[in-house]
Every structure is written in C-alpha cells, then in structure tokens.
Structure 1
C-alpha cells in the first residue's frame, strides 16, 4: 500500500473532484502535482492519483466514475470491472449476502442488485471510509461495509446468509501467488465454519489455476464458470454447495458438476456449458478443410473446447492442438473462424518459399503446441505484424509440425 493511504484525510474523501476529472485531458499528473503542491487542504498527490486512474476507470467502472467516486490505486487495480461484477451477481440471489473480501466494492455494488442486504468486510479501515462514501454517492444504501478481519468475523458470526462470496487477495507481502492454499482468506481453513451459516459459497480464484485440480482440491463443487472478456480469461468462479458437502460418493458428485465457459461483453454474453461427465469425448482428427477454427480461451481453459468442436462436427488438428478444421462454416462460432487457404508441414525452407510465392510480408502469427516462439518465427521470416493474413503454427495428431494459412475474406 502507498504510505499516504494509511491515513486518508476526510478533507480529501469529501472533496469534489468533478472539476478536475471532467477536464482530465488537460492534466499531466506529475506536472499537476508540482504545480499545485500546497494549494489544497490535503496532499495534492491524492488528487493526482485520481487524474491517473480516471481515464481507465471511466471504461472499467463507469457507474462509479459517473458520480465522481474516489479510488486508491491498489483497490482500483484489484477491482472487478462492472460488467464482470454484474455477471457474478446474475448467478446468485436471495435476501442477504456476505462478502468476505470487499475491496473497492464493485462486486458489492453488483450484488446489492440481487440481494436485499449485502454485508461486506475489509480489514483496511482507511479504504472502507472511501468505499462507504462511494456507496452513498452511487445510491447503494443496502450495503453495510465493516472494518473486519474475515477469520474473526466468521468465528463470531451468528447470522445466516443465503450466499457467501470470497475473492481471496492473491497478493501476499512478498509476491503475487496463484496457489489456492496460499491465498487470504484461506478457503480450506474456514470452509467448514462458513457452512454453519450459509449453504452456498461463490469463490473467485485466479485464472492461472487448473480447473481439474480445483475440483480435486475443493471437492463439493456444484458448478464452475471460466469467465473471459474480449477473449481474455479474467477469473474462475466456483459454486461450493453445502448440499454437495453431504454427498458420500465423490466420483458421482464430480460427474454432476456443471462446467461453464463464458465471454462477457457490454452488450451480450457468449456461453457454453456441459455436465462434467459429458466433457470426456473422443475427437476426430484432421489437418485440412475449408474452414479453420480457434476456440475461445474460456472454452480452452475450462477444457470444454473438444466437446464444443465435436458438437459442431469440427475435427481437431491434434489432441494437444485445440485448433479445428471443417468443410462446413459454423455460424456464431464461440471463438474465431477463418477461411483456410493452405495447410502444410512446417520446415524453415518451405515456409520461406510459401511466403515469397504468395507475396506475404505481413501477418498475424499465433502458435499452440509448437516448439518455436512467435518472436523466433518473426525473426526467421522477417514478417511484420498485422494485415489480413493469419498464420497458425501447431503440431498435428501425427506429431508433424504444421502451418495453417487462413484469413477472414475470400481473397489473399
């Protein structure tokens, strides 16, 4: 935490920042700090931070910037975007919810639309002063933010909650960690206690974690959502159910888990789901066709991609190369679809000859399960980034390194 945010003056919390952030294009935060030092009843660096944050925040959390909320740099960076927070809120509902890791409160704001009351905890009392003031500005009067440690609250709680949400802080004192057992609050140490006053836990974890490992570690999982935005995986959400806790047959329980892949946008969400038991499928393999498909990253991360490709009769290039080919165009494919111009076995000489014969000097390059890095391929070929041509490098089911030249139109 930045030192000055350990004691935030009320004069700043209650300050009207609108004249400054409304004309944000006129300010350079460093120059602003130098020019206006000593002119406000608080450290001008607080205001300079808002000038740095607001250009991004207007897109990420527009409801908050629309009422001129105040943010700390760390709480802003760790906060959910509004669209992801609202997606989470669409998964749950009830009378009351407990959030064990409140942070900036964007998730609380979204949950407050699905519950009559949200109780939110954070150990940072200074941040909580800002958050309470932001909630007043935005009109979220059914959220109670407490200065509380999750463990202490859980040990002393006597209230019942319909749902409990936890976004464990992945940043410890020394480094960022992605191991579930190293996060705070630690779900393993408090899960049984939580089930004394809730039947449903929604847990957000790092997208770096392995989905299958999560099922084995956590057990009693009802559903998992791998959530992306603009095809970048942002988070994994896990519904842990008390009902599943009472299941005696773990293998039978795992088969009933529902796996979801979701891409969230401002206008609509793309979604595919299957029971865990239906995910194991035997693909067909091919390395040529009229159309080339790259499944969305949420499909790949959730391990739903093979089943999704098979549903639409798309052959995989290889077991560990999740690209697909088909002679049929699939409308509204969940991912990227291209016309396939050429597929050939990779060699350095053949690639250079092909590029020269087709006058390709610029291309978008991607690779999966291929020994060379994209930077090495660019160095080898001299290709520049961009343009209308796409080159995918991978390894097919026969173990051969292969190049796919594809595009989004009828020409080359």
Structure 2
C-alpha cells in the first residue's frame, strides 16, 4: 500500500473529483509525483462504491483496493445481517479480502484472525481497521499453508472464495473456486465446529447439497429483492435436516424458513385468478419451493410453470408482493397508459408488450401478462 495516497493534499484532490469523469481523468497527468493518476482514480472509484455498498468506510484515512476486490466484497447490509446470527470466542476469516464481512461478523467474538495471501490488500485492511479502531491478528499467508501449519481451534471459520479464474472469468462450481472447497472441506471442519462459506447467488442449491458434507443451514440473502449471496453453514458431524432461510433485507417482508426436503412432499393446487395475486420474492424463486409456498400459505397456483399464486383472502406474512387484481381483455388496455409490466410464462417480454400495446413504464398500477391452466391471461391492478 502506498501511504502517500493518504497525504492531505492528495486526499483533497480525490474528494474534489468524486463526481468527475474518470475516463477523462485517467488521460491527465497526476499532479502529484509520488502517486499515479491510476492510483488516484482507484481511490475515487472506491469512495463511489462505498457510498452505496459500505458507507461506514467514508472516513478520513480509509484506503480502497482495486475494483475487483470491491466487487466481491459483501455489502454493509448483508454483513450486518450475518453478524447478528454469529457469536463465540474465536473467529477466523480465511480469505479476508477487503475485510467487510470480517469487520461485522467478528463483532460478537473476543479474538479475530484474518488470513489474506495478497500482501498489499492485507496492508490496506490493516490500515483501515486501525482507522476504525478495530483489532485483529493479520496473517499474510496462503490459506492452504495456514491450514497445514495451524494447531489452533476456532469457534467459527468463515470463507469467501474467489469466484474468478486466472483469466478473470466468473466461475461457480466449488471445485473451480479459489480455494477449491471440495479439496479442503475436511481440513476446515477439523479446526472448528462451524464453517461458513459465502457463495455466488447463481450457485445451484441441489448441487451444493450433493457435494458438501455436514450442511446444516443455508441462507439466501437478498437486498430489496436482488439476491446477493447464498451462505452455507457446515457443522461438524451434522447429519440432520438442512434448514434454508430466505430473507429479503430492506423490505417489510418476513423471512421464510423451511426444511430443504419439504418441497419434495408438497403439492400445489390450481385455480383461475381470484381476488389477490401473490408474487414470490426472488429468494423464494431461488430456493425453488414453488409447491411448498402454495401448500404452506394455502394459496393456489395459476399454472405449473407460472410461479404466481392466488387467493380470495390476503395473507399478510407472504414473502413477496400481494396485489389485488382482475382479469382484463387486451381491448381494455388504453394506449400510452403507465404500468409496471410483468411477464411470467408468457410468449412476449415486457419490452415487447410495451411496444405492442404502446404503453409507458411507471405509475402505480400493475399489468401482468401470464398463463393459467386455461391459457394466456392479462391481469390488471384493481
């Protein structure tokens, strides 16, 4: 880490250019001989990301790493949520990266250890934690080497593997991540009773359960209906039921927990649209519990391939949107009206629907193009 980046005059220049065109800025020569314009722009980008993703880092003295490290870092919101379900005496993050998760997850622990093989990145994290008055043991070492040499036990082991290959392409299978989770899972469970892995929101849950040992819990975490993370909990010697929890942060929706095997034994009933239409949030869709949602909330599905539900009653605890709607004919849709368009199991995409019926985005009304068992239908807000 270049400590010169913290010089007051350089920091003032960074803050003065937070809204500048970064491409134009990169074409200019740095006004400071001790740092390059690329290094200055890196800090500007970091502050821009922090404004939305982790605003607690918008303090004097904080240094930001390259863009790729910022992308994989958890948001402050998801890190805070995870911290509320973990506690113990000794916590270790084996791939600390930029340290956002470790900062929050370790708040209920007495001793904190951070492992990171990237020397410069670890120096940045150490600097930032000193600014934030947060203490930890920082170890600059490869995870595999640490596991070989370590003789210590921990209450919780946390791991956020790199999800890009050597060519910077995204990868998803556990054996393609760095480190290879399948190769080291036995070693990880040998140093702790509980081991937690943060994974891509695109990971397949059935695949995970089939290749990982001792899975006890899965957390599917969304922020405002955008699934951000799938977090896997492994408990030593565990062989019981796997509980999955779906949570949509920054919404008024309650979380929904279920036994991962429940979907196999659940059955959905079907109906034409009734008074209320239920649209599951994206954590529920990610979990794939389409029949369980129907049976648990006593709702009826419109069609086997349409993940919309209906009822004459309003069920307040439903994890998603509830809309009062009616079936309409396409002739009842006026041109240039404003709608929030949704297309589910329908031949046309929202943009194609908008063009065909000459509609505009926005407003308070919803228009859903979908299918029931009887065929294509259009639903409009009442």
Fold-level match, TM-score > 0.5? yes
1:373 and 2:367 correspond: no
Local SS of the residue matching 1:270: coil
1:162 to 155, 175, 189: 155
Match of 1:289 in 2: 274
1:37 to 30, 53, 62: 30
Match of 1:86 in 2: 80
1:214 to 208, 229, 236: 208
Checking the alignment, whether the CA contact within 8 Å between 2:219 and 2:230 is kept in structure 1 is yes
Local SS of the residue matching 1:109: helix
1:138 and 2:132 correspond: yes
Kindly state the Cα deviation for residue 30 of structure 1 after the two structures are TM-superposed. Answer: 4.5
Local SS of the residue matching 1:173: coil
Kindly state the Cα deviation for residue 67 of structure 1 after the two structures are TM-superposed. Answer: 4.3
Task: Give me the TM-score of the superposition, normalised by structure 1.
Answer: 0.84
1:76 and 2:70 correspond: yes
1:173 and 2:173 correspond: no
Match of 1:193 in 2: 187
Kindly state the Cα deviation for residue 324 of structure 1 after the two structures are TM-superposed. Answer: 1.0
Kindly state the Cα deviation for residue 43 of structure 1 after the two structures are TM-superposed. Answer: 1.3
Once residues 224 and 50 of structure 2 are traced to their aligned partners in structure 1, the CA distance between those partners, rounded to angstroms, is 17
Task: Give me the TM-score of the superposition, normalised by structure 2.
Answer: 0.90
Match of 2:316 in 1: 331
Checking the alignment, whether the CA contact within 8 Å between 1:227 and 1:263 is kept in structure 2 is yes
Match of 1:273 in 2: 257
Deviations 1:247-295 (A, max 9, x none): 4xxxxx3xx1111101122x87731112224343112211211111101
CA root-mean-square deviation: 2.4
Number of matched residues? 379
Checking the alignment, whether the CA contact within 8 Å between 2:14 and 2:40 is kept in structure 1 is no
Once residues 13 and 207 of structure 2 are traced to their aligned partners in structure 1, the CA distance between those partners, rounded to angstroms, is 48
Checking the alignment, whether the CA contact within 8 Å between 1:283 and 1:306 is kept in structure 2 is yes
Checking the alignment, whether the CA contact within 8 Å between 2:266 and 2:292 is kept in structure 1 is yes
Kindly state the Cα deviation for residue 103 of structure 1 after the two structures are TM-superposed. Answer: 0.8
1:108 and 2:102 correspond: yes
Checking the alignment, whether the CA contact within 8 Å between 1:264 and 1:270 is kept in structure 2 is no
Once residues 168 and 112 of structure 1 are traced to their aligned partners in structure 2, the CA distance between those partners, rounded to angstroms, is 18
Local SS of the residue matching 2:107: coil
* Cα distance change on mapping 1:68 and 1:369 into 2, 3 Å: farther
Deviations 1:7-50 (A, max 9, x none): x4232256676534554556444455566624252113322222
Match of 1:404 in 2: 379
1:316 and 2:310 correspond: no
1:386 to 348, 362, 375: 362
